[in-house]
Amino acid sequence: MRSILLTPFKLAAVVLLILTGCAASCKRDGNTTARLDPASTAAVKAQFDILRDSVAVKWRNMTESDDQKIDVTRLLLRELKTQPSVDAAKLQGLERANTRLKIRRYSQQSMASSDLIDQYDSAQDSLLTALYPVAAPNGNAPTENARNLVEGIQQIDASVVAFRVQYDRAAQQYNAYLKLHQAELQSLGGKYADLKPLPLFTIGAQ
């Protein structure tokens, strides 16, 4: 067999072809790596939707509990109206304050201002502080129904912190996952394109 000898010019041409081919291959591989894996993106979306739904459930549980406290307070005020010894004008003022609570309550977005949370808590605390001495002076409610309603309000009020802790935990998981997978979620477009972290009740826990 006759050996093939390459002149210096031909050898340089072959080397150039090899280098060009390698560069093209590396470029193709780089582009493939840079593109988001559709299967991976779908998995990220599925997990994110689970975390988002968990946050929604915790928020709903918390607001429904607060709604229940407002409703039981309304029932208590109605019960107290039947008592001749109770100041009717004071009851009307408490009713107005109780009715305004839902309007004043913060949302998932507006609670980024901790002042709104403080203002709402202060309004509700002031209402209950004024209500309890009227509903059960010296711890003695005028009727059994009134006593049961006072106890119901106190039990619901005692659960506020627990509901907020549960919400914060779900929101923290949501925020951490959003930060880690922002690129994949943005690639989905639509409602996923401009997601923002959720504010928390715990100051400084963002």
Q: Is residue 116 part of a domain?
A: yes
Q: Is residue 15 part of a domain?
A: no
Alpha helices in the chain (DSSP H): 8-34, 38-80, 88-104, 114-135, 144-158, 160-180, 182-187
More confident residue, 169 or 8: 169
Q: How far apart are CA 178 and CA 51, in angstroms?
A: 10
- For residue 68, give its domain range: 42-192
Terminal Cα-to-Cα distance of the chain (whole angstroms): 75
* Residue 85: predicted pLDDT: 85
Q: What is the mean pLDDT of residues 9-31?
A: 42
Q: Is residue 31 part of a domain?
A: no
Q: Is residue 174 part of a domain?
A: yes
Per the structure, the count of domains in the chain is: 1
3-state secondary structure of 176: helix
**Could you report the per-residue pLDDT of 67-106, keeping only the tens digit for each?**
999 999 999 999 999 998 889 999 999 999 999 999 999 9
Q: Is residue 50 part of a domain?
A: yes
pLDDT band of residue 41 (cuts 50, 70, 90) is: confident
* Residue 70: predicted pLDDT: 98
Q: What is the mean pLDDT of residues 31-36?
A: 46
* Residue 36: predicted pLDDT: 59
3-state secondary structure of 125: helix
Q: Is residue 63 part of a domain?
A: yes
Q: Is residue 33 part of a domain?
A: no
pLDDT band of residue 57 (cuts 50, 70, 90) is: very high
Q: Is residue 16 part of a domain?
A: no
Q: How far apart are CA 45 and CA 48, in angstroms?
A: 5
Global confidence as pTM? 0.78
